[in-house]
Structure 1
Amino acid sequence: MDFESEVNVKNAAQNIKFAQPSISRKPLELLRDTEALLRRPTVTTLAPILPPKISNNLQMASSLAEESLKELAEIDLEQISDWELRPARIRVGLSFVGFGALMIVLLLLYLNSLHPELTPVEQIGKYWYQYVWFVCLGVAGMFILGREAMRPTKNLQKPNKR
């Protein structure tokens, strides 16, 4: 008995044609449409059962989101240069460092005010997981800032305005 297939699998795999999207959409348009498909039915479902004041606020927030995402979808991501993204990258790095430091200070304040009986070694031993998360967040921010500081500035020249 011969159980081998008579169909040549290699040729069959080469003959498969996959459907190609007819319209290529930008990522921000996909975001707008996906968010709208989730938001609109939710608002129409919740609006009748909420108190009138909250329902009006929900509908106003929904219309504001609609307008904001419409403006956002008009942005062409290909036109944004590294020079224009530099301040955002610096702010994100500073936010990571600042938030990590703030959370370590709040953790120390919590431990010293609510658990004064623990020695610093016992505090770190008991709450090491939180320490590690907050330190890693600060280190990630330092990496972002260091990468931005080492980025060559000759490639980041401000684009000429026409």
Structure 2
Amino acid sequence: MDFESKTNAPTATDNIEFAQPTTTRKPLELLRDTEALLRRPTVATLSSILPPKLSNRFQATSSLADDSFKELAEIDLDSISDFELRFVRICVGFSFVGFGALMILMLLLYLNTLRPKLSTVEQIRQYWYQYVWFVSLGVTGMFMLGREAMRPMPRRQK
């Protein structure tokens, strides 16, 4: 018995051609336009119910955001080299390590001041989830710093 269909007639779904975008927009332009489409109606709605002084500041902040995003959209991402991003990646790595360490210290301070009756084992049992998150942030930052340390430096032209 042959269960396969013998007809190979083209169906309507085989001949669909999807429209191709006429122009490709840069990601920062998409970010600017999307943010503006969300922000402007929100500002218009909220400024009508806010006190006048706060409403004026809110609208001024919105126009400042317009200017900032306009400048941001003019940046050509293809012109930024890998070496120029090195400092930013190092700063982000240090931020992860620092934030993880700071949050572990805050957790220990919280446990020692507000939960002094709990033993160390009970503290770890109750707050292990936070410990894991904060240690993971620090380890992630260390991995980022290690990766940057192992990247080859660009050679200088003589």
1:115 aligns with 2:115: yes
In structure 1, runs of 5+ residues without a counterpart are none
Work out the number of aligned pairs and report it.
Answer: 155
Amino acid at match of 2:50: L
Deviations 1:76-116 (A, max 9, x none): 00000011101110000000000000000000010011111
Counterpart in the other structure of 1:69: 69
* Structure 1 runs (4+) greater than 2 angstroms displaced: 2-13
Structure 2 residue matching 1:127: 3-state secondary structure = helix
Q: Do the aligned partners of residues 22 and 5 (structure 1) sit closer, same or farther apart at CA in structure 2, a change above 3 Å counting?
A: farther
Deviations 1:19-59 (A, max 9, x none): 11011100000000001111111111111111001101100
Deviation at 1:10, TM superposition (A): 9.1
Residue identity over aligned pairs, in percent, reads 67
The aligned residue for residue 125 of structure 1 is: 125
2:108 is aligned with 1:105? no
In the alignment, structure 1 residue 56 sits paired with structure 2 residue 52: no
Alignment of 1:10-159 (within 5 A): 13=14, 15-154=15-154
Q: Give the aligned CA root-mean-square deviation in angstroms.
A: 2.3
Deviations 1:95-149 (A, max 9, x none): 0000000000000010011111112122111100000000000000001000000
Contact 2:83 2:154 in 1 (8 A): no
C-alpha distance in structure 2 between counterparts of 1:61 and 1:44, whole Å: 13
* Distance change in 2, residues 1:5/1:61 (3 Å): farther
Query: Structure 2 length as normaliser, TM-score?
Result: 0.90
Corresponding letter in the other structure for 1:96: F
Letter in 2 for 1:101: A
Give the TM-score normalised by structure 1.
Answer: 0.88
Structure 2, unaligned runs of 5 or more: none
Tell me by how many angstroms 1:12 deviates.
5.7
Q: Quick one: distance in 2 between partners of 1:80 and 1:46?
A: 38
Q: In structure 2, do the counterparts of structure 1 residues 105 and 7 end up closer, same or farther at CA, with 3 Å as the change threshold?
A: same
CA–CA distance in 2 between the matches of 1:50 and 1:34? 24
Change over 3 Å in CA distance of 1:9–1:117 after alignment to 2: farther
